[in-house]
Structure 1
């Protein structure tokens, strides 16, 4: 279980706090969805959970252990909004072994099977993959680390309808083994697989029911 208690982030140069006393609970094998517009604090929130930025106040816990940034770096695996920009390997195999040169082919294959990419030759360049395949490869890179918590920043951004649906199906499968926290400005198909939902705006987090948000998404628009 992930717990956030009054999590606050107020860098010295900012006139007001970017994140304001956030409280959140997310159970294992659940998918939590944080929805908010650009500039609402979503990406900063993920950076703190990934141990890339340090909170100003409050506390984070995994079960009953309070987490430091070092703990968070081990606990979580962050997939950036456009992960293909962060690929460094010339091949899929090199990308998956980045930082793990001793990794055997069995572990590599297992990670690729988890994200439905095991059919691709390992010498394939990550930059030659489709957008949806690149997102799945970025997930595989994190799964190899065996994190407890998968953190995803706008995972469906820039994907067409078909690729979005494929990725949503994959995330639904992954939450049977991992806990997922997704931030997005456009919940869309993700609402159908979310166990918990929050909205974030101006650094304030509010819990909402997924069903109520889904109703708003599918509500017919009045004729012009």
Structure 2
């Protein structure tokens, strides 16, 4: 279980904290959804959980173990917004093996199968894939690392309706094996698969019962 206790992030250059006393718990094999407008602190929260930024105060636990930034880098897999812009490999195989040249074909095919891309040629260029396929490949890049928690920043941004539905369905299936934390400004169909839901505004997190409130009620919590 991921547990955040009184997490605050206040860089010296900012007049007020970006994150304020965040408390959050996500159980294994659940999807947590954080909804908030641009500038609310969503991406900063993921960067801290991925070990890319250091909180000013507070604690992060996995189970009963308190985690350092170095341990968080091993624990989590972060899929950035528009991850396809960061592809570096010339082929799907190269993209999946970046940083992991020792990976055998079995692990590669397993990761692609997990995200529904098993029919693609490993020698195909990532840039030749459709938008939805590129998002799935970005997920596979993280899954191949076997993280304990998968974190996604605006995973449906820029996708058309059909691709959004396919990606949401995939995320719902992934929670059978993974814990997921998704942040977005537009919950949309993601509410259907969320086990827990929070809104974030001006760095403050508030729990919302997504299953009973529905989209309009959740968005009303954002003010």
Shorter-chain TM range is over 0.9
| 2:67 counterpart residue number | 67
CA RMSD of the aligned region, Å? 1.3
- Give the total of aligned pairs: 219
The residue that corresponds to 1:96 in the other structure is 96
The answer on whether the counterparts of 2:191 and 2:215 sit within 8 Å (CA) in structure 1 is no
Unpaired stretches in structure 1, ≥5 consecutive residues:
219-224
TM superposition shift of 1:215: 5.0
Q: SS state of the match for residue 14, structure 1?
A: coil
The equivalent of 1:51 in structure 2 is 51
Maintained 8 Å contact 1:188/1:217: no
**d(CA) in 1 for partners of 2:213 and 2:73?**
31
Task: Name the TM-score, length of structure 2 as normaliser.
Answer: 0.96
Map 1:1-224 → 2, pairs under 5 A? 1-214=1-214, 216=216
Q: Cα deviations across residues 91-116 of structure 1 (Å, max 9, x unaligned)?
A: 00000000011110010000000000
Distance 1:116 1:171 in 2: 11
The TM-score, its normalising length taken from structure 1, stands at 0.96
Distance 2:135 2:79 in 1: 8
**Unmatched tracts of structure 2, length 5 or more:** 219-223
Give the deviation of 1:216 after TM superposition. Answer: 1.9
| In structure 2, C-alpha distance between the alignment counterparts of 1:90 and 1:207, rounded to whole Å | 42
Output the CA distance in 1 between the equivalents of 2:102 and 2:147.
Answer: 18
Distance of 1:160 and 1:121 partners within structure 2:
24
User: Is the CA contact (8 Å cut-off) linking 1:191 and 1:213 kept in structure 2?
Assistant: no
Equivalent-residue separation in structure 2 for 1:155 and 1:12 (angstroms): 30
Runs of 4+ in structure 1 displaced over 6 angstroms? none
SS at match of 2:108: helix
Note if contact 2:95-2:141 (Cα within 8 Å) is conserved in structure 1: yes
Q: Secondary structure at the match of 1:117?
A: coil
Return the alpha-carbon distance in structure 1 between the equivalents of residues 151 and 215 of structure 2.
26
